């Protein structure tokens, strides 16, 4: 949809304010740290750019660093948020979005870093980093977060081995398992994928944050930290989507996973997806990743392929076997990977039907949507200061292309769907419960039953 329609549309009616209180701290502390690391990474790779592109590469490195240093100054000194100038597919849409904010800021001259919604400026910073690279062509495709993502994967090797060994064990006699047994494995792997979301690098500003112990063994001790657990409803949705296919076998047609982080979290998602298809519960899995380096550790197409190749190449029987299965699912079209610019824009998901109708239509074909991680939750709920007892359906404000479930560890100041008093109790026991990544939700919504 044309971006001008984004601007002319009135913002959705809201009863809750956008999250702002936490913004100042992250903008002042965490975002400059992330940006400084990007500058350092690009500088350290100067020789690589020289080897690949000669003097052009060195020139591009210098110019990119100069743009990024300027960006750091803008964000640290509360300068106005500027229009993008790189003329990419989504540039116009970003600039229209900025104008929309400018219209809401009637009392101010311009939208600035500290005075804008946290979600918006945080997304904007990652897009501006990408702009600095795009404006310097020979190094445009360089992924400045790649080192951290690959390191995160290697540091989780023992946990990946434990998980792949569990998976291959389950698959040995999967056809003989009863529905109850299938549910038990499904529930375990859903929780593993949930807790995989602890391993994100943007909350730690790029510091090592990988999974060290067996993810299956730690599930029992983590259970009390799941604040909302709708896994029964997720399972019922899968069960009611079982239909005979061309082969005569019964299965749900399609589950879509909107991915979050690379490294261990991605492996947990692939393992869950493998279980869903190898158990015959689902015929096809569609993965959705990011088209630019995003929030330090989010999955790009390159990370997705790399992770599967690396798992295939592992020096461990079950781990490499899992990798080979994943590769063949992709080859056979049982698994599909997509990206779309909407995932790397600041829009709340209730805007998707109007601003990215083709993506919305794609998601409508799913029997179930799994949204991984904290940023997706913020976009699902509009990053508002909702009362904790407000229903998840209410906070979605009409977003519901298909039954959906958020698998999220809490890292930001938004949480809905709690019991009366639950939020207050948590605040008294653990004041930073919403941001310390210790708690999680498996939260479900079915637009068809609303």
Name the site residues for Mg ion (rule: CB under 5 A): 200, 260-261, 295, 298
Stretch of 135-143, 176-184, 196-204, 226-234 lying at the interface with ligand F6P (CB under 6 A): 196-204
CB atoms within 10 A of CB 92: 16
Task: Pick the closer one to ligand F6P by CB: 91 or 197.
Answer: 197
Contact 354, 5 (CB under 8 A): yes
What lies within 8 Å, CB to CB, of 362 at 6+ separation is 256, 286, 338
Stretch of 93-101, 171-179, 198-206, 322-330 lying at the interface with ligand F6P (CB under 6 A): 198-206
Looking only at residues 104 through 163 of this chain, which bind ligand F6P when binding is defined by CB under 6 A? 122
- State in angstroms the smallest separation of the CB of 292 from ligand F6P: 15
Contact 49, 41 (CB under 8 A): no
Size of the site for ligand F6P (CB under 6 A): 14
The enclosing H or E element of 258 equals strand 250-258
Question: What sign has the CA pseudo-torsion 420, 426, 428, 429?
Answer: positive
What is the DSSP track for 361-408? HHHHT-SEEEEESHHHHHHHTTTB---TTS-HHHHHTT--SS-EEEEE
- State in angstroms the smallest separation of the CB of 26 from ligand F6P: 6
- Print the binding letters for residues 347-386 with ligand F6P: x by CB under 6 A, - otherwise: --------------------------xxx--x--------
The SS3 assignment for 25 reads helix
- State in angstroms the smallest separation of the CB of 191 from ligand F6P: 16
Question: In angstroms, how far is CA 202 from the centroid of its own chain?
Answer: 11
- State in angstroms the smallest separation of the CB of 376 from Mg ion: 8
- Strand 440-445 and strand 282-289: the pairing is unpaired
**What residue 412 binds from ligand F6P, Mg ion, none (CB within 5 to 8 A, per partner kind)?**
ligand F6P
**What residue 378 binds from Mg ion, ligand F6P, none (CB within 5 to 8 A, per partner kind)?**
ligand F6P
Task: Pick the closer one to ligand F6P by CB: 147 or 168.
Answer: 147
Q: Does 264 sit near ligand F6P (CB under 6 A)?
A: no
| ∠ CA 358-266-280, rounded to 5° | 75
Which residues sit at the interface with ligand F6P, rule CB under 6 A?
A: 122, 197, 200, 202-203, 260-261, 295, 373-375, 378, 411-412
């Amino acid at each position: 949809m044309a971006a001008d329609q984004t601007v002319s549309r009135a913002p959705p009616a809201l009863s809750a304010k956008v999250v702002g209180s936490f913004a100042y701290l992250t903008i002042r502390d965490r975002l400059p740290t992330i940006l400084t690391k990007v500058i350092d990474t690009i500088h350290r790779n100067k020789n690589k750019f020289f080897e690949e592109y000669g003097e052009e590469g060195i020139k591009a490195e210098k110019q990119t660093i100069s743009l990024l240093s300027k960006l750091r100054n803008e964000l640290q000194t509360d300068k106005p948020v500027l229009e993008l100038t790189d003329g990419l597919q989504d540039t116009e849409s970003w600039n229209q979005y900025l104008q929309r904010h400018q219209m809401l800021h009637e009392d101010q001259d311009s939208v600035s870093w500290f005075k804008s919604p946290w979600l918006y400026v945080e997304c904007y910073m990652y897009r501006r980093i990408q702009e600095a690279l795009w404006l310097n062509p020979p190094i445009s495709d360089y992924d400045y977060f790649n080192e951290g993502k690959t390191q995160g994967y290697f540091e989780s090797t023992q946990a990946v081995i434990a998980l792949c060994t569990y998976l291959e064990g389950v698959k040995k006699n999967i056809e003989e398992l009863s529905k109850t047994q299938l549910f038990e494995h499904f529930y375990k792997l859903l929780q593993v994928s949930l807790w995989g979301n602890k391993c994100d690098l943007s909350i730690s500003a790029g510091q090592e944050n990988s999974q060290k112990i067996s993810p299956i063994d730690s599930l029992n001790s983590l259970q009390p930290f799941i604040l909302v657990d709708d896994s029964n409803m997720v399972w019922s949705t899968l069960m009611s989507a079982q239909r005979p296919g061309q082969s005569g076998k019964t299965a749900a047609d399609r589950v879509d996973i909107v991915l979050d982080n690379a490294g261990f979290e991605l492996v947990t998602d692939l393992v869950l997806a493998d279980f869903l298809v190898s158990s015959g519960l689902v015929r096809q899995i569609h993965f959705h990743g990011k088209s630019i380096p995003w929030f330090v550790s989010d999955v790009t197409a390159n990370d997705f392929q790399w992770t599967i190749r690396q798992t295939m190449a592992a020096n461990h029987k079950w781990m490499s076997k899992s990798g080979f299965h994943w590769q063949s699912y992709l080859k056979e079209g049982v698994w599909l990977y997509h990206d779309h610019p909407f995932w790397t824009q600041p829009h709340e998901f209730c805007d998707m039907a109007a601003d990215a109708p083709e993506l919305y239509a794609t998601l409508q074909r799913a029997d179930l949507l799994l949204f991984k991680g904290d940023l997706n939750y913020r976009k699902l709920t509009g990053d508002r200061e909702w009362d904790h007892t407000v229903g998840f359906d209410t906070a979605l404000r009409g977003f519901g292309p298909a039954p959906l479930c958020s698998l999220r560890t809490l890292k930001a100041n938004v949480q809905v769907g709690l019991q009366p008093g639950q939020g207050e109790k948590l605040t008294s026991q653990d004041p930073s419960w919403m941001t310390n990544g210790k708690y999680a939700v498996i939260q479900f919504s079915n637009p068809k039953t609303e």
